[in-house]
Structure 1
Amino acid sequence: MQTRLNRRNHAKQTQAKKRSEIVSANRLFNGVDGAPRIVAVVPLSPDVSSRNIVSAIAASLDVSAEECSENGIWKMKAERFKTSVQFRTLPYRDFYGTLDACKVADYVVFALSSSVEVNDWGDTLLRSLQSQGLPEVVTVVSQESELDPKQRSGIMKSLLSFVQYFVPSQTRVFDLHVPSDQLNALRALSEGKPSDVRWREGRSSVLSENTEWDDGVLKVTGVVRGASLSVNRLLHIPNYGDFQISKIFSAPLPRSHRSNGAIMDVEPSLLSEPDAEDADSLVSTNDPDDLANEQTWPTEEEMNGGHDGAQDQTIPDALPGTTPKAVKRIPKGMSEYQAAWIIDETDEEDEDGELPSAERDNDDQGDEEMEEMVEMPVDDEADNQRSVRFQDLDVEEEAEQLEKWRNRKREEEDDTAFPDEIDTPQDISARQRFARYRGMRSFRTSPWDPYENLPRDYARIFQFEDFKRTERNVRRRAEQAVNAVEPGTRVTIYIRDVPQEVANIIGLTVFSLFQHEHKVTALNFTVQRNTEYEGSVRSKDPLILCVGPRRLFVNPVYSQLTRGGGKGTNNVHKFERYLRHGVTNVATIYGPVTYGHQSCTLLREGKDPQAPHLVAYGSFLNTDTTRIIAKRIILSGHPFKVHKKTATIRYMFFNPDDIQYFKPIQLHTKYGRVGHIKESLGTHGYFKAYFDGPINQMDTVCMSLYKRVYPKWYQLARQANNEPMDDAMMEE
């Protein structure tokens, strides 16, 4: 009985808590003079007009919508529901305008047609909005197209099934042919609490009702939405960047006098001005000093790369006496010619290192003979040349065999087996072509200093000692900000140094930024390919990144996602040349700092700027600047001659100097053997290698090399759109 009473009491408390939350959330919209509910009307078919959709909804309250345009803002008072609705109408095929309008909207109205299906553009838009984060959704059917009453039920079910694929929470589609559905659609927009979009938590935004530009100062009038607006923080205008606030004035609506009903204007008052000590600056990058850490000044000869401007790439020979020679034990009195016919004991050993049985039987006799043996130095090179019976081929024969081997391997080898395998160039030495690469004994545990050989762009970005702690402190200070404008207040914001063309934007929206969100750092996102996109997505391909209120033109670098999302032992992650289907990768870019659980969308522009392709989507991971993205290449060689654990390898290198340069790096085979280079043979790049076990003649010898890669600097999407795109960047 006590447990049942506790459950009832808990359910009652939960219900009261939900009711109080709804009441507090709706307090912002209560009353005709309260903050209006922003509704974005999105047509998904070419025969649907957003203006006609608004007119049909307004007709349910006998309100005329003649002043509503096809692309603009129109406000309506819904006195029956004790609120007001602000419609943001959008034209068909305005892709980026729709994305920006839905970022600030409380509700989104998807307008469908009963006769025309949603095409690929509408499908891409819905997927992009789904990735960006949708507020409360209301779906309607336009009254412009005729609807057969006999087919009405089937069409409505089909449209509902289509919408539920993108918005599973939808339960019905309102038919604007029916007057009762017009009123129900308006009721859905006027009652209840709008759903929250996660990335907007703690941020404030203002949808402009009126804009004025005066000598570089943009005056934006609107109602503060979301969180409190601080004058010390920066404002972001989509496609134009971040700007400072000079002051904030109140902008109350004109009120009517109770006695005579005359309209009286209320004088605006100054609400807040920035604090010089606390206000954020527009500095986004560091200014590196190239000579700050310079210890010595190079001479002109060193800057030219050596004597007479030519760098000596040859490796000097070892000094006499520094190379140890092998020693062979021979009977006393035997000549050097006779000793050459004696087989070394190591050549006759079994794989386990034991001597043959015949030698074990004559062990006592061998001990007596050893007493009379002497040591003789052996020329290793002559012995090795004789043991493998090596013979140099001429240039034509070598080129013919190489081409024959490469063609055979390319036909039989699957591309996914070794995606990093490349061919060693013949026209340039490997030590020059792969000078920036290094070998690693273990990709998972080998150390790699994250601060060595960094590019110049790394001197411009910022690094956080503890990003999570910084975010918590920034959010706490934002909640405790002094002189912040509360949400629901109608204000006029004075923004400094804004281009004049911004004042002509219809439905301009400004978003507040947290502290430090203007600074540039290395951002990491977890992304997945869009299953509907069939094009090739390569690292450093130009894409448009939509994250939070920003839209950036980036060239992301993809890398593997460590299991569990951690850094691993050495924070080294393998570079991925392509973003493939069904695999979650990490995209790294240079970009402004972002806080919170931000979702991201990657778009690729086509020939039509308003019809991009949705490439991938994901979420923000972290701002780790020490994350090492290592690009791997695999140089492959062919076992030319095999003798147990020793083999002669060809086609990995083409000159002895390259072999000497890469000699310390470990080798491995596709069958799992591990070895190392023993010595060079001949002049065409053949070398002898020793492995930890017998290798197969059909095996392939590989050498893995790694180098660190970095992304390119970002641009604002508006700047990128003004630049012409070549054919390689366009896709149908």
Structure 2
Amino acid sequence: MVVESLAEALNIAAGECPENGIWKIRADRFKTSIQFRTVPYGGFYATLDACKVADYVVFGLSSTVEVDAWGDTLLRTLQAQGLPDVVSVVSVDSSIDAKSRPGILRSLLSFIQYFVPTQTRIFDLQVPSERLNALRALSEGKPEDVRWKEGRSWLLGESTEWEDGILRVTGVVRGSSLSGNRLIHIPDFGDYQISKIVSAPILRQKHNISGMDVEPVVLAEPDPSTADSLISSNNPDDLANDQTWPTEEEMNGVGDNAQAGIPDAVEGTTPKAVRRIPKGMSEYQAAWILDDDEDDDEEDKEKREDEEDRVNAMRQDEDEEMQDLPMNDAQTELDQREKVHFQDLDVEQEEEQLDNWRRRRREEDDDLSFPDEIDTPQDTPARTRFQRYRGMRSFRTSPWDPFENLPRDYARIFQFEDFRRTERGVRRRAEQELGVVEPGVRVTIHLKDVPQEATVVALTLFSLLQHEHKVSTLNFTVQRNTEYEGSVRSKDPLVLCYGPRRLAVNPIYSQHTRGGGKGTNNVHKFERYLRHTSTYVATIYGPVTYGKQSCVLLRETPNQQAPQLVAMGSFLNPDTTRIIAKRIVLTGHPFKVHKKTATVRYMFFNPDDVHYFKPIQLHTKHGRTGHIQESLGTHGYFKAHFDGPINQMDTVCLPLYKRVFPKWSQLWTQTAGASSAAASDMVPSDAMEE
């Protein structure tokens, strides 16, 4: 082991060094002590958490074995997450002769500089003097600060105890001062309140015993009036705006509506239908209310629900078969899951998954060649199929009310009037707060209502700032990993890592306007796929965070500790008024052309659809704009007039827009990650519907 080789340079026996845990040694030569957090090879998420709380990261490279795919993914993820100072070493290997080692060291230095450009040398642990130089770099250097940890405190648990829902974690407070009023985040377990913070005895390094024998002193306790609560989202009252039953007077026709009276239609004309507008709704919003509420379901929604039902059914079948299988001591639970997966699929299911995978590949290629273009269905009227869509004269300037027709999830989230001002106020109050524990103090933190499963080895705790437990609409600028070749579609299940958190999310992607511009209406185009070409904005529902936090998007695999790095980026803002508009384009063929006038077919298939979409402006792929003049015949033909001559080789387009929203995110846990990976393994993510 690398740590054992470093300890031998200080004449310390390495027999007590754990493979996965904490080991503290005294370096008298450098008049300091070093605490190592050892992580076994293959522990992906444990390595991410360890690097978040470390001052230095020691990368142990092999002089004979090449870095595999897991190691490459880990290095890229750590690079995107944000690394502290790095010390690279080459493990001891006596099989390499002295003449070959300089060339190997130069090759490994070139490799590690790709991920950590600040590296200037690699320490060869085969040479005793190099071991001392590596220890000197760890002992005498000043570690640089990671930006996302500024103003935060964290703790690496040296020991944990659980009793009656109270988790006691002992360690040294690092970073900033720790307040008892703030919440504590435990990765993979969630946010918890502090019961109290008491002092812990300092350990003597030589004998590993307590340096003082005194009663622990309470250093900080939460103030009930100012302590943060665990309420992360609002609980909307569905009855507050519920439609009440009509009274007997209204049913008998003597209510206010009856007194107002409805004028009779003029004789010989068709009576005009009266549209009932809900109270408080403007004419602009009422213009999009449909007369028939039974046609609200769309084809894509039905396809999505069918796909989800199919995935849940297959997942349930797999769980039932796993329960029937006997446990084998020689196999892990992961091996059992993979074995069930390969035994469960038959020829028909294999063919179905292959067809889904090929169809999604074709859909992605078609979307790249013909962006947003879809075919108008012949068996369903277009006004019914696309009833949730609207036309816009200008994508950047046309008005769009950000508070109209919001989903129920928007009633649960929190909105900040001025997020940057709130952040400045929170950080200022944190610096001025009294009754806090300063960094460098060894304490025992008592956490309330923590499950017993949280008593893991070397537990990491992160203190949250005020309001960081509140859920809002979060936007992240992300760029796809150049090494990932799979298909990434909006609302695909992924794992989002930002700050100390890991969430199971289904993000939606939209265009990122350069220079921070968002137009006069804050409308941004929805993107069906996350591509390699540009930077996109990923939107989710999740707990807010402060600062320029880096983020990583991972895709789970059957091997839970070997996810795939999909994209990386940083936190943008929690803008709840950002409108993400999905665009579809109906296309038609100019059947007959006479200068600026053309007869267009194949866009609609009945005259009622022509009249319904008549107010929307048309455009062609060659840059002409126009409008529908009149319907022709009974097969959906219509006459259109444009601002210039067109030809029959052109294509007439009619764009429609609909606002889309993300799905509610959940805390990522080991169990949830395993089930998600199993589901994505049964049904390829490339085949899942939007």
Same fold (TM over 0.5): yes
Question: Which residue identity is paired with 2:683?
Answer: A
Cα distance, 1:192 vs. partner?
1.7
Q: Separation in 1 of the partners of 2:516 and 2:211?
A: 61
Q: CA deviation digits over 1:439-481, x for unaligned, max 9?
A: 0000010010000000000000000000000000000011111
Match of 1:615 in 2: 566
Q: Separation in 1 of the partners of 2:484 and 2:520?
A: 35
Q: Which TM-score applies when normalising by structure 1?
A: 0.76
Cα distance, 1:682 vs. partner?
1.6
* Higher RCO (CA-CA < 8 Å; seq separation 6+): 2
Cα distance, 1:435 vs. partner?
0.6
Q: 1:581 aligns with which of 532, 540, 544?
A: 532
- Partner SS for 2:107: helix
Distance 1:167 1:254, change over 3 A: closer
Q: 1:675 aligns with which of 626, 632, 635?
A: 626
Distance 1:691 1:78, change over 3 A: same
Distance 1:57 1:126, change over 3 A: same
Distance 1:106 1:263, change over 3 A: closer
Match of 2:483 in 1: 532
Q: Separation in 1 of the partners of 2:67 and 2:28?
A: 35
Distance 1:640 1:321, change over 3 A: farther
Q: CA deviation digits over 1:508-559, x for unaligned, max 9?
A: 0000000000000000011101111111111111111110000111111110
- The gaps in structure 1 that reach 5 residues or longer are 1-51, 300-316, 323-409
Seq. identity, %:
73
Question: Which residue identity is paired with 2:679?
Answer: M
Contact residue 605 and residue 730 of structure 1 kept, 8 A:
no
Residue correspondence of structure 1 range 551-700 to structure 2 within 5 A: 551-700=502-651
Matched, 1:483 2:435: yes
Contact residue 589 and residue 652 of structure 2 kept, 8 A:
yes
Q: 2:188 aligns with which of 211, 226, 239?
A: 239
Matched, 1:56 2:5: yes
Q: CA deviation digits over 1:493-519, x for unaligned, max 9?
A: 00000000111x111000000000000
Q: Separation in 2 of the partners of 1:640 and 1:318?
A: 41
Distance 1:262 1:70, change over 3 A: closer
- Partner SS for 1:61: coil
Match of 2:679 in 1: 725
Question: Which residue identity is paired with 2:176?
Answer: A
Q: Separation in 2 of the partners of 1:640 and 1:262?
A: 91
Match of 1:468 in 2: 420
- Partner SS for 2:9: helix
Q: Separation in 1 of the partners of 2:600 and 2:74?
A: 55
Matched, 1:514 2:514: no
Q: Which TM-score applies when normalising by structure 2?
A: 0.80
Residue correspondence of structure 1 range 218-237 to structure 2 within 5 A: 218-237=167-186
Question: Which residue identity is paired with 1:283?
Answer: I
Cα distance, 1:255 vs. partner?
6.5
Q: Separation in 1 of the partners of 2:156 and 2:623?
A: 62
Q: CA deviation digits over 1:197-229, x for unaligned, max 9?
A: 110000000000010001000000000000000
Q: Separation in 2 of the partners of 1:80 and 1:296?
A: 80
Cα distance, 1:254 vs. partner?
5.2
Cα distance, 1:488 vs. partner?
0.1
Matched, 1:499 2:451: yes
Q: Separation in 1 of the partners of 2:645 and 2:492?
A: 44
Residue correspondence of structure 1 range 116-127 to structure 2 within 5 A: 116-127=65-76
Match of 1:190 in 2: 139
Q: 1:420 aligns with which of 358, 363, 372?
A: 372
Cα distance, 1:720 vs. partner?
2.6
Match of 2:385 in 1: 433
Distance 1:110 1:272, change over 3 A: same
Q: Separation in 1 of the partners of 2:556 and 2:423?
A: 33
- The gaps in structure 2 that reach 5 residues or longer are 248-264, 271-361
Distance 1:203 1:262, change over 3 A: closer
Cα distance, 1:563 vs. partner?
2.1
Cα distance, 1:643 vs. partner?
1.7
Cα distance, 1:264 vs. partner?
4.7
Contact residue 250 and residue 269 of structure 1 kept, 8 A:
yes
Cα distance, 1:567 vs. partner?
2.4
Q: Separation in 1 of the partners of 2:203 and 2:509?
A: 55
Cα distance, 1:115 vs. partner?
0.3
Q: 1:199 aligns with which of 143, 148, 154?
A: 148
Matched, 1:97 2:69: no
Contact residue 253 and residue 265 of structure 1 kept, 8 A:
no
Match of 2:102 in 1: 153
Q: 2:232 aligns with which of 269, 281, 284?
A: 284
Cα distance, 1:415 vs. partner?
5.2
Distance 1:66 1:634, change over 3 A: same
Q: Separation in 2 of the partners of 1:281 and 1:621?
A: 26
CA-atom RMSD in angstroms: 2.4
Question: Which residue identity is paired with 1:286?
Answer: N
Question: Which residue identity is paired with 1:280?
Answer: D
Residue correspondence of structure 1 range 343-422 to structure 2 within 5 A: 416=368, 418-422=370-374
Equivalent pairs counted in the alignment come to 573
Distance 1:199 1:636, change over 3 A: same
Cα distance, 1:606 vs. partner?
1.4
Matched, 1:274 2:222: yes
Q: Separation in 2 of the partners of 1:129 and 1:670?
A: 44
Q: CA deviation digits over 1:357-415, x for unaligned, max 9?
A: xxxxxxxxxxxxxxxxxxxxxxxxxxxxxxxxxxxxxxxxxxxxxxxxxxxxx99x985
Please identify the structure whose Cα radius of gyration is greater. Answer: 1
Question: Which residue identity is paired with 1:141?
Answer: V
Distance 1:62 1:700, change over 3 A: same
Contact residue 556 and residue 711 of structure 1 kept, 8 A:
yes
Cα distance, 1:252 vs. partner?
2.0
Q: Separation in 1 of the partners of 2:462 and 2:453?
A: 18
Q: 1:81 aligns with which of 24, 30, 54?
A: 30
Contact residue 255 and residue 264 of structure 1 kept, 8 A:
no
Contact residue 558 and residue 674 of structure 2 kept, 8 A:
no
Q: Separation in 1 of the partners of 2:379 and 2:159?
A: 66
Cα distance, 1:129 vs. partner?
0.2
Question: Which residue identity is paired with 2:579?
Answer: I
Q: Separation in 1 of the partners of 2:549 and 2:510?
A: 20
Contact residue 621 and residue 652 of structure 2 kept, 8 A:
yes
Residue correspondence of structure 1 range 235-314 to structure 2 within 5 A: 235-253=184-202, 264-294=212-242, 297=245
Question: Which residue identity is paired with 2:558?
Answer: K
Please say which of residues 422-431 and 705-714 is displaced more in the overlay: 422-431
Distance 1:297 1:321, change over 3 A: closer
Q: CA deviation digits over 1:305-336, x for unaligned, max 9?
A: xxxxxxxxxxxx999679xxxxxxxxxxxxxx
Please say which of residues 143-152 and 131-140 is displaced more in the overlay: 143-152
- Partner SS for 2:237: coil
Matched, 1:72 2:58: no
Cα distance, 1:729 vs. partner?
4.5
Match of 1:174 in 2: 123
Q: Separation in 2 of the partners of 1:664 and 1:298?
A: 37
Contact residue 201 and residue 212 of structure 2 kept, 8 A:
no
